[in-house]
Structure 1
Amino acid sequence: MKLKDIILLIALGMAGGAIYLLPYMKYYFYNQMVDSTGLSGQDLGFLVTMYGIAQMFVLLPGGIIADRISSRTCICLSLIATGVLTIIYGYVYTSYIASLVIWFLLAFTTLFLAWPAILKSVRAIGGENSGTAYSIYYASNGLTGALGGYLIIKVYSACIATSGSSAYTYGMITSALVNIIIALVLFYLLRDMKESASGASKMPTVKDSLTVLKLPIIWVITLALFCTYTLYVGMSFFTPYLTDAFHMSNETSGTLSLVRSYVFMSLTPLTGLIADRLLKSTLKWFMLVCPILIIVLLGVIVVGENVNVVMLVSSLTMLIAFFICTIYSSMFSILSECKIPIAVAGTAISLVSIFAYTPDMFIQPLFGYFADKNQYQFIFCGLILASLLAGISCFILLKMNKRKAITD
């Protein structure tokens, strides 16, 4: 892979890391959000549910449009719009109704055009090395998200003693500035993104784009991605688990959450290389990781909530998070491995995302309910089931690929 391609992937990762700082803020800012807004874990889950409801309406048309216009335009405008919404939220966060509206609108600024444009571009740049390309993207994504989230936490912590309720507003302004500054940087770095990501000499028609709806393999891919995203969602609840069950401080658990959710992404290029070069298949990497996740999650359940084993449990959650990040960072390379045409990749990505990200609609509030009731064992059991189904669906995809290769 050329240096220019790596730089472009890093730039795209910066966009992905910044634009989702607000929609998924509960991943690294959970306890601070509860303290400042007065909302429960279930209430925070319903914010993401609102985001998930909106995505059902914006993803497919956004993907069709993203197959036709400049990725640079889609991404930069989306970052700036997200920054503006973040500033507004910083002044209305005390109203739950206003917060729900903000999260609904965030789907338009972060998912409508940005999401398919970013991921289609990553696949186009990666070519046959899509596993590595997505891993580099998510490494940059993770580092950007970690730095942005850490900055927000530090600004909030520094201001809480002197500014009181205004500390939350300052944190949101910090998040907005990260988005806007990165948008300006990317406007220059992605000046040739349209040519780099074009990937096809002929513009697909709407009918061509909608043919992906008829592909059986798309729906199996969707199941694999649904389970993978469920695992990623569940990972965010390690933060309240460590504070509730083991009395870890908010700042320490929030920092560990940043490591789990973002820093581990910086290590995923290594596993991307393993999938591409050693295993020659992202699907095989999934089938290797899923049994490991099941075993370690069972270990967390068996160990229980004894304060004397806090270091062991913390280590187990970090191990789980690392492996979840490796499959989450490469899950969209399954589309390439299953030979979904690049010309309609934006539509395909949006279609599978509509269903793959539905955990935001019901898993988030459900797990939030379990967290509020201190019933974390049910969350861990749900993650074990998701690991099992992800492994099975990837096995089925491998069989479908082999059958298709024989018939071709």
Structure 2
Amino acid sequence: MEKKPIRWFTFIILVIGGGTVFKLSGLKDAFYVPMQDFMGLSNTQIGLALSVYGIVQTIGNFASIYIADRFSKRILIPLSLICIGLIGFYISTFPSFYGILIAWGLLALFGEVIYWPVLLKAIRLLGDSTQQGRLFGFLEAGRGVVDTIVAFSALGIFLLLGSGAGGLKAAILFYSICVIVAGVLAYFFLEDDKINTINEQGIEISKNQAAWNGVIRAIKTPEIWVVSLTIFTIYSIYCGLTSFIPFLKDIYGMPAALVGAYGIINQYTLKLVGGPIGGYLADKKFQSSTRYLRFALILAAFAILIFIFMPHEKLNIYFGMCLTLGFGAIVFTMRATFFAPVDEIEIPREISGAAMSIACIFGYSPQLFCFALYGFIIDYFHQSLTGYRIVFALMGFFAICGVIVTTILLKMIAKKKNN
């Protein structure tokens, strides 16, 4: 079988969009305090806006199972990016709290429901089954580069304009313009998808019927659900990485000056490094994304088990930082490649959007409860080492579940190949 060449220019256009699309919905990441000071939002109100975002995302992803394959990416990707930019213009007017709730709901609709599954579908279609690990790995790394450049540029604008209300408005407008530019580029440089309107019996059908047939085929494919469970277990572990920051502060006494630096390394640097490494290992060393994910989950389970029983009260803060960042690096190599098995299970390319949407719905669902669960355990045990050890044990439990799920998936893949 001739190897399919990767269209890198198209890939770069997709990465630019992927690195800018969530900057407005993640405004709190860089501007949490300014949002409170100049937009008049309390901690509870910011939390409620994010809750609305999560609700719209979860419910809306069921609709994206149909939408992602019904319409061309050349329509959906530019439309969603430009609409997000226009919502950003509205947010820059500092609307009322109810306006903020509506804005964040719309950001979830266009970003998570319409854009994200279509982006994943487009990335999958750029290469063959031997290139999926690298494609998704470099997507994660490329998004990290764009994300970092855009975030620090917005922060620079905010500081340059005096760190006041005008600076925050300018930063929001900057985010908005960036995502609109990404949408315009996507419109002019992405190709139209060819929607297959001939069914399995060779009969001509409408595009609507073709999309619904794809939804039914995807839902009836057991391998898609097992891939979704794989993503579920890995994302549950990923949610636990957030607890490393209070852990280092409470148990190791990490000074406030190091918190910011650690956070940047934990979110940006690991993404930049983990993506390409995970993709390379999946494609070149293991020749299978699923086999690599199982190996990494086994490694993560052993690593977190050893980490639980270490004498953390006696260890050096920098050693503790290295340990947690090392574990985080393992998780980021998995997070970068956990959509790659969709190609390995030989899902027909015309239902890629439906498959990715199902994977998003159930794969990302731990965000609905894991952050709250881990936070509750830490608070219940008064930020003691016991509470953190229970959180880490849960992460280890999810890693073991992931090993079992990927083992089942590998057997399904082998059976499919034999047939």
Which stretches in structure 1 are left out of the alignment for 5+ residues? none
Per the alignment, in what secondary structure is the counterpart of residue 20 of structure 1? coil
Correspondence for 1:265: 271
Which of 10, 16, 25 does residue 8 from structure 1 map onto? 10
Note if contact 2:13-2:186 (Cα within 8 Å) is conserved in structure 1: yes
Correspondence for 1:116: 117
Comparing 85-94 with 174-183, greater Cα deviation is found at 85-94
Relative distance call for 1:370 and 1:88 in structure 2 (3 A) is farther
Correspondence for 2:77: 75
Correspondence for 1:20: 22
Correspondence for 2:302: 295
Correspondence for 1:325: 332
Give the Cα–Cα distance (whole angstroms) in 1 for the partners of residues 96 and 393 of structure 2.
34
Give the Cα–Cα distance (whole angstroms) in 2 for the partners of residues 278 and 247 of structure 1.
37
Correspondence for 1:56: 58
Q: Which runs of structure 2 are paired with 1:163-178 in the superposition (5 Å)?
A: 163-164=163-164, 167-178=167-178
Which of 181, 191, 194 does residue 192 from structure 2 map onto? 194
Correspondence for 2:342: 335
- The amino acid that maps onto 2:14 is L
Give the Cα–Cα distance (whole angstroms) in 2 for the partners of residues 384 and 109 of structure 1.
34
Per the alignment, in what secondary structure is the counterpart of residue 278 of structure 2? helix
Relative distance call for 1:371 and 1:258 in structure 2 (3 A) is farther
Give the Cα–Cα distance (whole angstroms) in 2 for the partners of residues 43 and 299 of structure 1.
40
Comparing 222-231 with 234-243, greater Cα deviation is found at 234-243
CA RMSD of aligned residues (A): 3.2
How far 1:81 sits from its partner (Å)?
A: 1.8
Q: Which runs of structure 2 are paired with 1:71-220 in the superposition (5 Å)?
A: 71-92=73-94, 95=97, 98-128=99-129, 129-156=131-158, 162-164=162-164, 167-190=167-190, 193-194=191-192, 198=194, 202=198, 204-220=210-226
How far 1:279 sits from its partner (Å)?
A: 0.8
Note if contact 2:278-2:336 (Cα within 8 Å) is conserved in structure 1: no
- The amino acid that maps onto 1:146 is T
Give the Cα–Cα distance (whole angstroms) in 2 for the partners of residues 385 and 365 of structure 1.
17
Relative distance call for 1:194 and 1:371 in structure 2 (3 A) is farther
Alignment TM-score, normalising by the size of structure 2: 0.82
Which of 386, 396, 399 does residue 408 from structure 2 map onto? 396
Comparing 47-56 with 109-118, greater Cα deviation is found at 47-56
Deviations 1:210-234 (A, max 9, x none): 2221222222211111122223333
Note if contact 1:242-1:248 (Cα within 8 Å) is conserved in structure 2: no
How far 1:247 sits from its partner (Å)?
A: 4.2
Deviations 1:69-102 (A, max 9, x none): 221221122112222333434554884x554443
Correspondence for 2:244: 238
Give the Cα–Cα distance (whole angstroms) in 2 for the partners of residues 4 and 392 of structure 1.
33
Note if contact 1:48-1:360 (Cα within 8 Å) is conserved in structure 2: no
Note if contact 2:91-2:172 (Cα within 8 Å) is conserved in structure 1: yes
Correspondence for 2:399: 387
Give the Cα–Cα distance (whole angstroms) in 2 for the partners of residues 322 and 58 of structure 1.
31
Relative distance call for 1:110 and 1:331 in structure 2 (3 A) is same
Correspondence for 2:203: none
How far 1:177 sits from its partner (Å)?
A: 3.0
Give the Cα–Cα distance (whole angstroms) in 2 for the partners of residues 132 and 286 of structure 1.
14
How far 1:6 sits from its partner (Å)?
A: 1.9
Which stretches in structure 2 are left out of the alignment for 5+ residues? 199-206
Find the structure with the greater CA-based Rg.
Answer: 2
- The amino acid that maps onto 2:11 is L
Comparing 294-303 with 329-338, greater Cα deviation is found at 294-303
**Number of residue pairs matched?**
397
Relative distance call for 1:200 and 1:260 in structure 2 (3 A) is farther
Correspondence for 2:201: none
Relative distance call for 1:188 and 1:253 in structure 2 (3 A) is farther
Give the Cα–Cα distance (whole angstroms) in 2 for the partners of residues 170 and 135 of structure 1.
32
Note if contact 1:123-1:133 (Cα within 8 Å) is conserved in structure 2: yes
Give the Cα–Cα distance (whole angstroms) in 2 for the partners of residues 38 and 304 of structure 1.
41
Deviations 1:105-124 (A, max 9, x none): 22211022211211111111
Deviations 1:270-313 (A, max 9, x none): 33122112211111111111122233334554457659622122
Comparing 295-304 with 386-395, greater Cα deviation is found at 295-304
Give the Cα–Cα distance (whole angstroms) in 1 for the partners of residues 376 and 167 of structure 2.
27
Note if contact 2:236-2:366 (Cα within 8 Å) is conserved in structure 1: yes
Comparing 50-59 with 365-374, greater Cα deviation is found at 365-374
- The amino acid that maps onto 1:293 is A
Relative distance call for 1:234 and 1:10 in structure 2 (3 A) is farther
Alignment TM-score, normalising by the size of structure 1: 0.84
Percent identity reads: 23
Q: Which has the higher contact order (CA 8 A, sep 6+)?
A: 1
Correspondence for 1:229: 235
Q: Which runs of structure 2 are paired with 1:36-55 in the superposition (5 Å)?
A: 39-40=42-43, 47-55=49-57
Give the Cα–Cα distance (whole angstroms) in 1 for the partners of residues 254 and 20 of structure 2.
30
Note if contact 1:293-1:384 (Cα within 8 Å) is conserved in structure 2: yes
Note if contact 2:233-2:399 (Cα within 8 Å) is conserved in structure 1: yes
Per the alignment, in what secondary structure is the counterpart of residue 21 of structure 1? coil
Give the Cα–Cα distance (whole angstroms) in 1 for the partners of residues 268 and 366 of structure 2.
20
Give the Cα–Cα distance (whole angstroms) in 2 for the partners of residues 98 and 241 of structure 1.
36
